[in-house]
C-alpha cells in the first residue's frame, strides 16, 4: 500500500517501520487525511500475518506537534452552522468528531500486534497520546527531545486518551501536575514517571524500538490485563483521600475557576479511574465535547494558537519586499535594555556591535549577556560551547565607526529626545543609505524622533519589553514617513530573534503602555476610594491577571509613573491627569521615598531573600479604609478588565492598531491580560459587545468617565457585530472602516 504522509517498510524479522513524513510541512501534524491513513495502516499491520509488530517514528527532526488546531476550528465551524438548524444533531456530530482520535488510538492498542513509538524529537499533544497507546515507547537522548500534553494552554485538554493513560502509567499526583499545566518532559523525566520505557542514542533509536518487539513485547496494555493496579492507588483509598481534596484546592487557587479545561481534567481523571478503561475514554470524550463548546476554548484557540502562529509567520509583513539576511546589527546604549537586545540578537546567531559612551559601559553591557548565558549553562539549558559562541558575536565599543556595515541599528539610549537625536545623527553618518534605524523608545512618538533622521523612510520604532530575554512580544511602531522596507526589515529582525511582532501606528504610549497605564490608574482610584490594597491585588489575580496592578507599578517603578504623569500634564494640560492620583504618587515618592522594587520600597516591601515581598502596611493609613465585606469583589474584577478592554477598543477606533489579532495576542504576551479571555478584544467579543457596553455604562455611572464606551464599540454593539467581523484580518485588499 502507498500513503501520502507515511511509508511502511517491513524488514526480514517481520517488523514494519512506519515513518511519518508529511510533504510540504516542516513538522508533522494530525489532519483528517493523516488519521485516515493511520487507520488503514493499523488494519494493514493487524491483517498481515507476515508482520510481527510495528515501530512508528518520524522522518523529520521532530516527531509531531500534535493536532492541527485548524482542524478543530473547522469542526467547531460545522458545529455552530448545524446548531442553528438542529442542536441535538450538532452536539452529536461534535461528540463523534471529538472522539475520532481517541478511539483510533484504542484500535491501535487492541489490534493484537505490538506497537512501539520511536520518539526522535518534539512529541506534543495527540502525538504523545498516540505514543502512550503504543505498547512500547523509546525516546532519543537529546536536548531537543521534549514530550508534553500542552492542550490546556489553549483552553482545551488531552482528549485522545491522555487523561486516562497518563494516570494509569504514572503516579496520580505527577499525572495531574503534567496534565493541568501542560509541562514539557525530558526523556529522563518521562522515564522516571513511567511514561516511556527506554532512552536510546539517536542513531540507535529505531534499532532499540525494534529490539523491544523482538524481545517479546506483549501487544496488551497494562490496564487491559487482569489484576491491573493504578500506580497512585485507587481513588477511594488512603492515598486518594490525601491527594484529591488538596488537588482540587490547588487547582482553585491557581486558576480561580477561570479555566474550564483544568476542572474538566480533574473530573476526567477522578471519574475515569473509578471505571474500566473504555468507560473512562467515553467520559473523557463527553467532557472534551463540553469544553469544545466553551467561550474560553474558542477564544484561546484563536488567539494563542491560530493568531499567534500567523503573526509569528509574518502575517503583517509587507508583500513584495525581499527578506533580510542580517550580517551585522548595531545596538546603541548598553544599559539594561540595550544589553538585553544585544543578548537576544547574539543568541539568534547574529553578530552585534554594542555601543555606549565609553568602553567600561559597553563592557558592562556585554557582561549582562555573560551572566544570562552562564545561568543557562548552570541550569543545563545551554552548553559551554554555546556560551563561547554567543559572547564571540558581541563586540562592545565606544566608536560609532564600528557600526559601518550594519543592516539595522537599534537605539536604546536614555529616554531623552536630545540624547536620542545625537545618537541618531552619529550612527547615520557611518551607516549605508539602505540601512534601517530603529528606536526602542517607550514614550516618545516615532514621528517626532524621525525628524532627527536624514532618511525618515528608513526610521521605525522597535519597542522591546523588560526583561528583553524573557518577554516574547515586540511592538513595531510606524512613523508617518516609515516605508514598507523598514517595516519588513523590522519584522524580519523580530522574527529572527524568536519574538512575536505586532504593528502599531504612532501615538503616545503606543498600544501596550496605554492599556497598562489604565490598569494601574484604576488600581490607584480603588486605593483612593479606600479599597484595601490586598483586595485590589487579589481581585486582579482572581480576574486572571498574572500580576496585580500595584505589584506591576512597583516593577516598572513608581517614580517612573510620576515622571509620566508630569510629562503628560506638560504636554496635554493639567486636566489630562487625575489630581487625586497625582497626589497619591507624589506622596509615595516624595513623602515616603517609595520608588518601587528598585529601591526595595514601593506599594510592597521587599525584604532580603528568602523572605517574600509583602504589601506595605502604611498603605492603609493613606486613605480611610472600607470594610472588606462592603467591597464587591466581582465589581473590582470587572473594573480592572473592562478599563483595559475599553482602551483597546479606543486604540482600534483611532487606527493605532488595525488588526484584532495583534490587539489580543499583544495584550496577553505583553502584560498577561487574562489569557482565558483570548485577549482584550476577544474579552469583549466573547461577552458580546451589547453586554459589554451595558456593563461599561453601569461602571461609568458608578465610577466615572474612564468607563465611557467609544463610538466604535457602541456601533459594533448596535449592529450585533464583533471586532473580528468589523476588522476582519482575513479580508484582503479591503480596508475596513471604523464607524
pLDDT in tens, 9-50: 999 999 999 999 999 898 999 999 999 999 999 999 999 999
CB 182 within 8 A of CB 151: yes
Segment holding 105, helix H or strand E? helix 87-109
- Picking from 344, 703, 270, the residue whose alpha carbon sits closest to that of residue 500 is 344
Q: Among 80-94, 212-226, 670-684, which is the least confidently predicted range?
A: 80-94
Residue partners of 276: CB distance under 8 A and separation at least 6: none
pLDDT of the residue at 579: 93
CA distance 31 to 20: 12
pLDDT of the residue at 563: 87
CA distance 348 to 493: 10
Map out the domains of the chain with their CATH numbers.
Answer: 6-293 (3.90.226.10), 329-507 (3.40.50.720), 513-726 (1.10.1040.50)
CA distance 710 to 712: 5
Residue partners of 338: CB distance under 8 A and separation at least 6: 331, 332, 354, 356, 365, 410, 412, 413, 440
CB 236 within 8 A of CB 147: no
- Our measurement of the distance from residue 728's CA atom to the centroid of its chain's CA atoms, rounded to an integer in Å, reads 22
List of long-range contacts for 613-616, beta carbons under 8 Å, 24+ apart = 613/551, 615/533, 615/534, 615/537, 615/550
pLDDT, tens digit (0-9, with 9 covering 90-100), for 368-392: 999 999 999 998 888 899 999 999 9
pLDDT for residue 735 is more than 50: no
User: 555 versus 735: which is more confidently predicted?
Assistant: 555
Instruction: Over range 534-549, report the average pLDDT.
Output: 96
User: 565 versus 116: which is more confidently predicted?
Assistant: 116
352-355 and 198-200 strand pairing: unpaired
pLDDT of the residue at 560: 85
pLDDT, tens digit (0-9, with 9 covering 90-100), for 489-533: 999 999 999 999 999 998 877 899 899 999 999 999 999 999 999
User: 129 versus 573: which is more confidently predicted?
Assistant: 129
Q: From residue 360, how far is each of 171, 270, 282, 367, 398 by CA, in Å?
A: 54, 60, 66, 10, 9
Cell of 344: 537576544
Q: Among 300-304, 417-421, 541-545, which is the least confidently predicted range?
A: 417-421
CA distance 708 to 513: 19
CA atoms within 13 A on the CB side of 177: 9
Whether this prediction's pTM lies above 0.85 is answered by: yes
pLDDT of the residue at 73: 77
Instruction: Over range 282-286, report the average pLDDT.
Output: 97
pLDDT for residue 732 is more than 70: no
CA distance 476 to 553: 24
CA distance 313 to 315: 6
What mean pLDDT, rounded, does the chain reach? Answer: 93
pLDDT of the residue at 645: 98
Amino acid at each position: 500500500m502507498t500513503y501520502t504522509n507515511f511509508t511502511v517498510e517491513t524488514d526480514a524479522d517481520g517488523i514494519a517501520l512506519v515513518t511519518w513524513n508529511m510533504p510540504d510541512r516542516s513538522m508533522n501534524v494530525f489532519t483528517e487525511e493523516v488519521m485516515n491513513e493511520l487507520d488503514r495502516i493499523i488494519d494493514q499491520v493487524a491483517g498481515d500475518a507476515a508482520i510481527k509488530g510495528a515501530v512508528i517514528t518520524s522522518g523529520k527532526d521532530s516527531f509531531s506537534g500534535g493536532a492541527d488546531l485548524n482542524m478543530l476550528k473547522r469542526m467547531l465551524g460545522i458545529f455552530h452552522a448545524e446548531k442553528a438548524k438542529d442542536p441535538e444533531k450538532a452536539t452529536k456530530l461534535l461528540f463523534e468528531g471529538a472522539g475520532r482520535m481517541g478511539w483510533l488510538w484504542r484500535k491501535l492498542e487492541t489490534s493484537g500486534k505490538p506497537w512501539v513509538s520511536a520518539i526522535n524529537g518534539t512529541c506534543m499533544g495527540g502525538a504523545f497520546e498516540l505514543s502512550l497507546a503504543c505498547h512500547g515507547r523509546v525516546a532519543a537522548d537529546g536536548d531537543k527531545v521534549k514530550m508534553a500534553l500542552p492542550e490546556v494552554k489553549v483552553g482545551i485538554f488531552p482528549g485522545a486518551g491522555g487523561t486516562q493513560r497518563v494516570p494509569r502509567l504514572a503516579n496520580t499526583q505527577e499525572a495531574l501536575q503534567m496534565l493541568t499545566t501542560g509541562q514539557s518532559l525530558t526523556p529522563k523525566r518521562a522515564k522516571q514517571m513511567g511514561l516511556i520505557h527506554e532512552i536510546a542514542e539517536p542513531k540507535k533509536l529505531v534499532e532499540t524500538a525494534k529490539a523491544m518487539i523482538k524481545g517479546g513485547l506483549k501487544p496488551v496494555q497494562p490496564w487491559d490485563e487482569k489484576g491491573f493496579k493504578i500506580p497512585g492507588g485507587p481513588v477511594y483509598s488512603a492515598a486518594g483521600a490525601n491527594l484529591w481534596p488538596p488537588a482540587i484546592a490547588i487547582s482553585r487557587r491557581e486558576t480561580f475557576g477561570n479555566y474550564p479545561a483544568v476542572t474538566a481534567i480533574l473530573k476526567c481523571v477522578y471519574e475515569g479511574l473509578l471505571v474500566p478503561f473504555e468507560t473512562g475514554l467515553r467520559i473523557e470524550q463527553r467532557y472534551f465535547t463540553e469544553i469544545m463548546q466553551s467561550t474560553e476554548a474558542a477564544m484561546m484557540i484563536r488567539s494563542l494558537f491560530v493568531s499567534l502562529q500567523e503573526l509569528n509567520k509574518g502575517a503583517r509583513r509587507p508583500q513584495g519586499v525581499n527578506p533580510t539576511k542580517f550580517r551585522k546589527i548595531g545596538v546603541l546604549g548598553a544599559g539594561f535594555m540595550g544589553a538585553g537586545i544585544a543578548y537576544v540578537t547574539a543568541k539568534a546567531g547574529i553578530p552585534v556591535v554594542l555601543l555606549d559612551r565609553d568602553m567600561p559601559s559597553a563592557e558592562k553591557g556585554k557582561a549582562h549577556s555573560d551572566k544570562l548565558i552562564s545561568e543557562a549553562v548552570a541550569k543545563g539549558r545551554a552548553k559551554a560551547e554555546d556560551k563561547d559562541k554567543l559572547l564571540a558575536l558581541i563586540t562592545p565599543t565606544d566608536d560609532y565607526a564600528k557600526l559601518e556595515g550594519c543592516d539595522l541599528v537599534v537605539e536604546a539610549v536614555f529616554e531623552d529626545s536630545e540624547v536620542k537625536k545625537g545618537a541618531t545623527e552619529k550612527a547615520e553618518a557611518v551607516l549605508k543609505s539602505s540601512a534601517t534605524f530603529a528606536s526602542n523608545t517607550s514614550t516618545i512618538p516615532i514621528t517626532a524622533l524621525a525628524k532627527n533622521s536624514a532618511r525618515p523612510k528608513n526610521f521605525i520604532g522597535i519597542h522591546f519589553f523588560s526583561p528583553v530575554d524573557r518577554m516574547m512580544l515586540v511592538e513595531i511602531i510606524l512613523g508617518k514617513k516609515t516605508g514598507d522596507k523598514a517595516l519588513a526589515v523590522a519584522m524580519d529582525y523580530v522574527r529572527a530573534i524568536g519574538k512575536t511582532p505586532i504593528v502599531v501606528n504612532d501615538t503616545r504610549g503606543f498600544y501596550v503602555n496605554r492599556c497598562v497605564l489604565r490598569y494601574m490608574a484604576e488600581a490607584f482610584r480603588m486605593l483612593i476610594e479606600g479599597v484595601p490594597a490586598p483586595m485590589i491585588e487579589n481581585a486582579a489575580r482572581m480576574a486572571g491577571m498574572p500580576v496585580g496592578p500595584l505589584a506591576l507599578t512597583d516593577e516598572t517603578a513608581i517614580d517612573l509613573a510620576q515622571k509620566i504623569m508630569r510629562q503628560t500634564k506638560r504636554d496635554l494640560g493639567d486636566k489630562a491627569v487625575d489630581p487625586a492620583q497625582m497626589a497619591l504618587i507624589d506622596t509615595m515618592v516624595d513623602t515616603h521615598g517609595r520608588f518601587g522594587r528598585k529601591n526595595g520600597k514601593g506599594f510592597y516591601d521587599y525584604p532580603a531573600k528568602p523572605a517574600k515581598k509583602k504589601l506595605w502596611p502604611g498603605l492603609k493609613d493613606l486613605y480611610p479604609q472600607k470594610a472588606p465585606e462592603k467591597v464587591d469583589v466581582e465589581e473590582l474584577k470587572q473594573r480592572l478588565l473592562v478599563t483595559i478592554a475599553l482602551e483597546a477598543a479606543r486604540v482600534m477606533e483611532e487606527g493605532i492598531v488595525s488588526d484584532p489579532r495583534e490587539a489580543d495576542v499583544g495584550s496577553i504576551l505583553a502584560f498577561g491580560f487574562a489569557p482565558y479571555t483570548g485577549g482584550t478584544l476577544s474579552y469583549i467579543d466573547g461577552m458580546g459587545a451589547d453586554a459589554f457596553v451595558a456593563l461599561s455604562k453601569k461602571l461609568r455611572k458608578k465610577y466615572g468617565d474612564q468607563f465611557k464606551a467609544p463610538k466604535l464599540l457602541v456601533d459594533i454593539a448596535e449592529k450585533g457585530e464583533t471586532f473580528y467581523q468589523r476588522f476582519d484580518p482575513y479580508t484582503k485588499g479591503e480596508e475596513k472602516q471604523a464607524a
